[in-house]
Structure 1
Amino acid sequence: MKRHATSCNWSMCFPLCELQEQTVGQLALKAISAGCLSAAIAMVTEEDNTLRSVIGIDLGTSSNRVGVYMNGHVEIIPSDEGNRTMPSWVAFTGSETLIGEAAKNQAAVNAQRTVFDVKRLIGREFEDKEVQRIMKLVPYKIVNKGGKPYIQVEIEDEETKAFSPEEISAIIVTKMKKTAEAFLGKKITDAVVPVPTYYNDNQRQATKDACLLAGLNSVRIIDKPMAVAYAYGLHEYGLHEAAPEKNFLIFDVVGDGTFDVSILEIGYGVFMYRASTHLGGEDLNQRILEYLIKNKHEKDVSVDLVKLRIEAEHANRAFSSRVDDLSEPLIFEEVYSSLLMGLVNKAMEDAGLEKHQIDDIILVGGSSNIPKVQLLLRDYFNGKVEPKKSVNPDEAVAIGAAVEGDLLMKPQHSAMC
């Protein structure tokens, strides 16, 4: 590759004609000979970065997206089927391993060998309440291996194998990595992967391990609200030391019945959390269950609680999947409205902010298409703040991760780890 005229520091070391005609390797050697080591390093770094691409991966509970920053914007890379998302499903048929749409489409006839919702298991202990709850809801077998939950499936006739959640996730990440490589026409070794703010160290490390198992060498784990902020370009605003402080409330329906509310303070060179709270899917399921018992059966406590619990799960999934016309409309009024606004109220209290101090609300995920959620937020802030969804809410996390990936290749940012 030939080096063209540039305004970088090393242009001061050599005549313009040399910069135009010499390769990077030749110029770097000359820079070292001239005692200009920093210029040599800068040359090689810039050359390496022109060849590298850092992908952004939204590794979701039910679906995944992968994006890359190129030509001044983020491209969401389509799956083999041409979709902008890939289901988080893996299936073993005996002759092959199916991933994404192919796995999901055959689940009905191969239920015990089709794995999904693995993100709920990653980084947890086998005795974790969430793991024990999930075991009752999925058709595949979860076993205890060294105190960790493993997915045991029959990979071939009469041959079973136990996979860790990280290994199943790695299969999904490998597929996305290969899809990105085919799209870009080059090898991918680096990625930025956002995770929920409530993830503990074990869950963060397990997510990173899954990516490393997939063949990625460098993985940066960031919080999802930060990725959303990058997607909206808030990092550019925050870098200006003269920019006044602004508070952004990010409301996220994660997709598995879990809700997150985060408040970011950005401005005067500051980019920080004021508060972050979340409400787990099981908390909502329990409240819906109590509602169903109270309103459908009044004092009859001998009702089949298993059936009601399943109905509660379905109602919660329907809500977080953007279905506005629930089979039980009052569930929203009596359960969701109080819980969700309680979540917002707690975040506001934790941040020590008054309602008028919130400058913008950003909706992410399924919440963006639920009119009642938007109305609740408008009313809570007295109609003075209109919820934003100018960036595709379902793609904001992947977009932000890809933007961060591009920033990481720039000299002023720290190296990936």
Structure 2
Amino acid sequence: MAKIAINIATGSLQQEEIIVGIDLGTTNSLVAIIHPETKQAVALKEHDSSSMVPSVIYFDGQSNVTVGDEAKKKLISSPERTIFSAKRLMGKSYNDIRNRSAAFSYKIIDDNAESLVKVQVGDKFYSPVDLSSYILKELKHRAEHILKTPVNKAVITVPAYFNDAQRQATRDAGKLAGLDVLRIINEPTAASLAYGIGISREENKVIAVYDLGGGTFDISILRIAGGIFEVLSTNGDTYLGGDDIDQAIVEHWKKELGISTEKIAAEPSLNQALRLAAESAKKQLSVTDSYETTLEDYELKISLAQFNTLIQPLIDTTIRSCKSALKDADLKASEIEAVVMVGGSTRVPLVKKAVGEFFGREVNDTVNPDEVVALGAAIQADILAGNNKEFLLIDITPLSLGIETAGGLMDVLIPRNTKIPAKASRQYTTQVDAQSGMRISVFQGERDLVEHNRKLAEFNLSGIPGMPAGLPKVEVGFLINADGILTVSARELRSGVAQSIEVKPQYGLTDSDVEKMLLESITHAKDDIAARALAEAKTEGEQLLKTTERFLQKNAELLTKDELLQTASAMQALQLSITMNDKDLIQKKTEELNEISRPYAERIMDEAVAGAMKGKNV
């Protein structure tokens, strides 16, 4: 029996469930749909309010969550409890962002490790997936409130340069928010769709998409042919955007008014207030020649000429990226047939002028640059819903494919809805010293624990040379050919030991099996992600205990009695927490052991280096 939804607002019958397009942005996020009557893409907003939801999350003392404009107000009053730019943390390890951690006013756990970064607010620990899921949940609620109908399916956009881990993290965030993520698409692809470029199957074009958002800049060169979008090259800077334009104004005011770095460090709220004033100045200077306001005892002023001088180096950096992207694509600027502008910062007149001059053509900026990506995602959603028959849909994988990792977790290498043929690979390592073999178990499904998914195949990679845990590098590769046949290979990169297995097409699942597995993944999303987080916390805690134990065996005589006692106590507490199945407690005890061991580990390392250098000329 077919389900028919009724739109309560209009009383009209909806034959198809609504699929929304979501732009999950660094600074702002928004949701769009194809209007049922006009058939045009529209960003959802209430009355005269903005379509944009600031990508800001505030946690009060009871861990209640607020997202959007209300959360943004807390940037000044409670900076340590207010999370912004969570997208910058997606799929990142501690090492990836440790040099940038000072830019965040909240606590990022600064551990020299390769595991995913965590944010600490009070005694709670949140992953970037958790944080992004709160933003997506807010967008889902907002869409449901405006449309007066349930919203469970979405297309979500990501930057073209996002790697597999970052795309998977975005999918996980959608799942945790209660959304079935039908497709993750590249932001430049979405932007070109919003301009109608690439919708006709006859179209054959090479275009540039210049995206200067709040926190990131990227330039993508796309070839569009027969409804297929191919990213020829992408370049940019994940730490350059409107935020940096704002910061240039802040630095100008600090210098002009003699506000010291020490004063800013002592008053985080002053820095946030200056940042918000700078944002207002940037917006006003797009339409007027000057800006002035008062903040506490300070008179803040800036002219358009001063502003242009301040931001010229930032614009020059983006143009250098454009040159690099063209070089990588082996194209000249004159061969680009259209330039699409994306991101609120492209409203700055000097940016438009510089980009137009570089490419030697007028830029496309008639669609709201803040909304263009979400509108394109809505068009893609409409295509997936089968409402646009002109568009070519490639064969796709019906369910995610991955392998089992420590803690019985499913590590997805090829997400569902990936177009085929497709290939993906990822590196893994051993957990035990002198481990000579590794079992590769291949699974299909959307749940976070492999026990809930379907096992497709299993084989052993044996003959790994005896090495300390963590040293071997085993690359596992998945390749699906055009017939849907999956080949899984494993290779230890240092020794060259290799093994592979072939898995048959479609894996014997009926459409109803696939539907059931998808439904279960959404129904159990919250439990699954909690189970994954707990398993990851346990694995991380156990690894730290092993590492600390090995370190103590080698260096115990170099530690003070007090250090030994503190370490033993912290290890015991961590060991106990692992048995208690409380993720936050395990992470807290892991962090406490790290805090105790880090100073003496660094001291012993420094002494060892100093000893090795004695008598040597450097």
Q: Which residue of 1 aligns with 2:310?
A: 331
How many Å separate the matches in 2 of 1:394 and 1:76?
10
1:259 counterpart = 2:226: no
1:59 to 14, 20, 24: 24
Superposition deviation, residue 264 in structure 1:
1.5
- 2:108 maps to a residue whose letter is I
Give TM-score, length-normalised by structure 1.
Answer: 0.72
Look up the match of 2:199: 236
SS of residue paired to 1:278: strand
Q: Give the Å deviation of 1:235.
A: 2.4
Q: Which moved more, 1:215-224 or 1:163-172?
A: 215-224
Contact 1:131 1:149 in 2 (8 A): no
Counterparts of residues 10-159 of structure 1 (less than 5 Å): 50-71=15-36, 72-78=39-45, 82-95=49-62, 96-128=64-96, 130-133=97-100, 135-143=101-109, 147-154=115-122
- The structural deviation recorded for 1:171 is 1.1
**Residue 328 of structure 1: CA displacement?**
5.4
In the aligned structure 2, how far is the partner of 1:340 from the partner of 1:170? Answer: 30
TM-score by length of 2: 0.50
For the residue of structure 1 that corresponds to 2:154, the secondary structure is strand
1:68/1:76 contact within 8 Å kept: yes
**Contact 1:143–1:149 (8 Å) recurs in 2:** yes
Deviation sequence 1:98-132 (CA, Å, 0-9, x none):
1111111233222222211111111100121x344
* 1:140 Cα deviation from its structure 2 partner: 1.8
Structure 1 residue 209, shift from structure 2 partner: 0.5
Matches within 5 A, 1:205-244: 205-237=168-200, 239-240=201-202, 243=203
Change (3 A) 1:81 1:88: farther
Distance 1:174 1:180, change over 3 A: same
Contact 2:208 2:336 (C-alpha < 8 Å) held by counterparts: yes
**Could you report, residue by residue, the CA deviation over 1:257-313 in whole angstroms, capped at 9, with x for unpaired residues?**
x3211112224555322221112326997xx99xx99xx9xxxxxx979989x99x9
Letter in 2 for 1:121: L
Quick one: structure 1 residues 320 and 270, their matched pair in 2 at CA, closer, same or farther if it must change by over 3 Å?
farther
- The answer to whether the 8 A contact 2:156-2:377 is kept is yes
Give 1:279's aligned residue.
237
Following the alignment from structure 1 to structure 2, what is the Cα–Cα distance between the partners of residues 110 and 304?
20
Distance 1:252 1:276 in 2: 11
Question: For 2:362 and 2:85, how far apart are their aligned partners in 1?
Answer: 33
| Residues 1:356 and 2:334 aligned together | yes
Inter-partner Cα distance in structure 1 for 2:145 and 2:175: 19
Distance between the aligned counterparts of 2:209 and 2:281, measured in 1?
16
Change in 2 beyond 3 A, CA 1:80/1:88: farther
Unaligned runs of 5+ in 1: 1-22, 26-47, 155-159, 297-302
C-alpha spacing 1:81/1:118, structure 2 compared with 1 (3 Å): farther
Per-residue deviation, residues 217-256 of structure 1 (Å, max 9, x unmatched): 234111100111111111223x12xx4x322111110211
- What's the secondary structure of 1:387's corresponding residue? coil
Among residues 122, 127, 140, which one is paired with 1:164 in the alignment?
Answer: 127
Q: Are the equivalent residues in 1 in contact too, given 2:59–2:82 (CA < 8 A)? A: yes
Distance 1:338 1:98, change over 3 A: closer
CA shift in 2, pair 1:355/1:332, >3 Å: same
Other structure's SS at 1:264 match:
strand
Are the structure 2 counterparts of residues 141 and 236 from structure 1 closer, same or farther at C-alpha, using a change threshold of 3 Å? same
SS at match of 1:236: coil
The CA deviation at 1:210 is 0.6
Structure 1 or 2, whichever has the larger Rg, is 2
Deviations 1:292-350 (A, max 9, x none): 99xx9xxxxxx979989x99x969x86996555375543334x2343222111112222
Letter of the aligned partner of 2:327 in structure 1?
Answer: E
For residue 95 of structure 2, give the secondary structure of its aligned residue in structure 1.
Answer: coil
Query: Structure with the greater relative contact order (CA < 8 A, sep ≥ 6): 1 or 2?
Result: 1
Letter in structure 1 aligned against 2:30: R
Change (3 A) 1:321 1:188: farther
C-alpha spacing 1:318/1:182, structure 2 compared with 1 (3 Å): closer
Aligned to 1:18: none
Residues 1:386 and 2:362 are matched in the alignment: yes
After superposition, the Cα gap between the structure-2 partners of 1:107 and 1:349, relative to the gap in structure 1 and judged at 3 Å, is closer
How far apart are the structure 2 equivalents of 1:223 and 1:319? 30
Length, aligned pairs only: 345
Which runs of no fewer than 5 residues in structure 2 stay unpaired?
4-12, 266-270, 287-303, 397-415, 418-618
Partner residue of 2:511? none
Contact residue 144 and residue 151 of structure 2 kept, 8 A: yes
% same residue: 29
Deviation of residue 375 (structure 1)? 1.7
**Residue identity matched to 2:142:** T
CA distance in 2 between counterparts of 1:103 and 1:80 reads 21
Q: 1:372 aligns with which of 347, 350, 354?
A: 350
Tell me if the contact between 1:49 and 1:409 (Cα under 8 Å) persists in the aligned partners.
no
